[in-house]
Amino acid sequence: MPFVRPDDVKVLEVGEQDWDLLEPLTYKGNKDQFLVHKDMRTDFASVPRFFIWLLPRYGRYTKAAILHDYLWREKARHGELSYLDADALFRRAMYELDVAFLRRWFMWAAVRWGALVKPGGKKGWSKEAVRVVILTILAVPIVAPPAILIGVALVLFYLAERVAWAILKLAARIRRWTGKPAGKKIPRPRLLLKT
């Protein structure tokens, strides 16, 4: 395995979506070795909520996702590695972790699209554009219908949460007016599109 220590990843939750590595993670490429340092923050796979049914934030590809976070944040952002090469290493690491063919290629195409919004991420993008577009065309009929349905459900659930929140806030205000304790804290609902 190209990951030098095949042990499980050890992390500490530091937010709703963020985790810090408790131990370093080392990946050995063909030429270079990459050390993902202890305390590096990761969100595992950055997957919009619409697609979690197909690509959960973590799975067989977790180490590859952590490596990819490191490559984008530490290497590509500082010009030490291109986003194109970082994404290729991500795909290769998933292959080495036995991630299924279409899943790893769909995930690779997604990060290639994501590179377009990064400073310097467009450099070399056209080299893989044909493959990215073909994969996207293949993915759309599989991914779009459930994603649309899930998107609608997320908005409806958020609206239901807002109504419940408004009722609970009103009830707490009435309790305070009548001299009774307001009760428990009532957190405001948020529409989360990214997990």
Q: Can you tell me the distance from the alpha carbon of 82 to that of 162, in angstroms, rounded to the nearest whole number? A: 43
- Residue 32 in 3-state DSSP? coil
What pLDDT, on the 0 to 100 scale, is given for residue 195?
60
Read off the DSSP letter of residue 24: -
pLDDT (mean) for 178-190: 84
Q: Can you tell me the distance from the alpha carbon of 69 to that of 55, in angstroms, rounded to the nearest whole number? A: 16
What pLDDT, on the 0 to 100 scale, is given for residue 6?
62
Say what percent of the chain tops pLDDT 90.
Answer: 76
* 24 has a pLDDT exceeding 60: yes
* pLDDT tens, residue by residue, 61-115: 999 999 999 999 999 999 999 999 999 999 999 999 999 999 999 999 999 999 9
Whether residue 102 contacts residue 91, with contact meaning beta carbons closer than 8 Å, is answered with: no
Map 76-94 to HEC letters: HCCCCCCHHHHHHHHHHHH
What integer best gives the mean pLDDT of the chain?
A: 92
Instruction: Provide the pLDDT confidence category of residue 151 given band limits of 50, 70 and 90.
Output: very high
What pLDDT, on the 0 to 100 scale, is given for residue 186?
85
What pLDDT, on the 0 to 100 scale, is given for residue 1?
57
pLDDT (mean) for 150-168: 95
Q: Can you tell me the distance from the alpha carbon of 44 to that of 194, in angstroms, rounded to the nearest whole number? A: 12
pLDDT (mean) for 35-55: 92
Phi/psi-derived region of residue 60, left when phi > 0, alpha when psi is between -120 and 50, beta in every other case: alpha
- Residue 195 in 3-state DSSP? coil
What pLDDT, on the 0 to 100 scale, is given for residue 140?
96
- Residue 13 in 3-state DSSP? strand
Helices (H) and strands (E) in the chain, counts: 4, 5
What pLDDT, on the 0 to 100 scale, is given for residue 122?
93
Strands 19-21 and 11-13: antiparallel
* β partners of residue 42: 19
